[in-house]
Amino acid sequence: MTLEYDGGAFSGWQRQAPGVRTVQETLEAALEKMCGHPVLVAGAGRTDTGVHALGQVAHFDTTRPRDPQVFRRALNVLTPPEVAIVDVARAPAGFNARRASWREYLYRILAGRCPPALDRQRVWHHPGPLDLDAMREASAWLIGNQDFSSFRSANCQSLSPVREVMRAEWRVAGAELHFSIRANAFLYHMVRNIVGTLILVGRGKWPPERFREVLAGLDRRQAGPMAPAHALYLARVNYGEEEEWRGDDPRAAVPAPGRAVPEGF
């Protein structure tokens, strides 16, 4: 399945205690009604409470197979409006949604204007201007296979803090700044901690070189505060397919090349 959801309506992706509303539990309940047996759904990314998805990928097994589009139509009826099943397909043998080649997250920031009314739970409002060039310079040091302990939350359960970041780019999208970061995997709260630290650079409180020093220091206490969850989106998941250009669609989280920065940034 490929799906999108409003993370503000759920306590994250992963199933929790009974009565706690999560995306995984919601999908499993709907599939059990369809299939007549308990169904386990595995997702590519375990998004936190409040984090949205534009391109989450999940898989499930059933002993009562149906046409994939029957599943898609029925699931869009059986799930709440905060979840949309974009596509369903038969997976090849051995497929596991968790074994992605890379995942890409999108973070949306609205800077230098009044707070949004309609998108107040979709974008992080920053009241003052941000130095986009400085944030781009700092973000360049994220690229590569390295230890990201500086942006790892204390309760992260990953065995290793080493991750490979393939893309870390800022682009202008209308009145917003979009940060896209792609990696083979992410540590707990890694993206939000990175964005919160980059904002210190954008505000002029830190020079870009300070970001590099914090990354190399491997100490979370030296980094900036964690950015809020409501502006973060799991945008894309890839399983080794050849990448396809998707134009300048912000939902695709593909950075557009060489845009001018509008006045106010």
Q: CA 65, CA 35: separation in Å to the nearest integer?
A: 8
Among 69, 52, 40, 39, residue whose Cα is nearest residue 13: 52
Q: CA 190, CA 149: separation in Å to the nearest integer?
A: 9
Active-site residue (options: 6, 48, 61, 131):
48
Among 237, 45, 73, 64, residue whose Cα is nearest residue 24: 45
Among 191, 197, 233, residue whose Cα is nearest residue 53: 233
Judge whether 48 counts as a catalytic residue. yes
Read off the amino acid at residue 221.
R
Q: CA 161, CA 185: separation in Å to the nearest integer?
A: 10
Q: Which positions are annotated as active-site residues?
A: 48
